[in-house]
Amino acid sequence: MIITRSSITGLGATSAKHVSYDNTISGLTGEDVQAALDEIASGVETYTQKDLTDNNTDHLIMGSQTAFRASLLQYTLETSNTFQEGVLTAQHNGSTVELDHAYNYKDPEITGITFTSDLSAGNIRLVIVTLAVGENPKMMYRITNIAIPV
């Protein structure tokens, strides 16, 4: 059986403006609900763009070494005719960092870019080495820190 909006009895609303709000149980006003939604939306991380250049080494701070034991980085790399995306995880034990490629999709692969990680000045860093790619790729990334007790 396939359930559709029209097969549910009494469902007449087709958009949010048609949904009634009854606060008799919660006591929350419409402003309270909107404030809660705004607070949730403010916690949603957005992607940041980093322009990479040929024959260069870039560093991204992934998180504080003293506050986080691990960080996760979601990224995309793009040139005019190539696209690559992936997920990197970096875990440290206080003195060394292990960087893993949890996911990697290439269409086709952008050659000449390598990722490593290190600890520097109290931070977990992603080290990006860009060799002669031929054109400067754009990198979009989002970092999530994992609060494992240090």
Q: Which pair of tokens denotes residue 109?
A: 């692969």
Beta bridge partners of 120: 123
Q: Given this model, what pLDDT does residue 45 score? A: 60
Q: Given this model, what pLDDT does residue 41 score? A: 61
Enumerate domains of the chain plus CATH numbers.
52-146 (2.60.40.1680)
**Residue owning tokens 């290439």:** 106
Instruction: Summarize pLDDT for 91-108 with one digit per residue, the tens.
Output: 999 899 999 988 777 777
Q: What's CA 89's distance to the chain center, in Å?
A: 12
- Indicate the pLDDT class of residue 149, thresholds 50, 70 and 90: low
* Prediction pTM value: 0.64
Report the alpha-carbon angle 96-49-114, nearest 5: 40
The H helix count followed by the E strand count for the chain is 1, 8
Instruction: Summarize pLDDT for 15-66 with one digit per residue, the tens.
Output: 555 556 666 777 777 777 777 766 666 655 678 899 888 889 999 998 888 8
For residue 114, the surrounding DSSP H or E stretch is: strand 113-120
With a cut of 60, say whether residue 118 has pLDDT above it. Answer: yes
Q: What is the mean pLDDT of residues 113-118?
A: 91
Residue type at 70 in one-letter notation:
A
Q: Given this model, what pLDDT does residue 21 score? A: 61
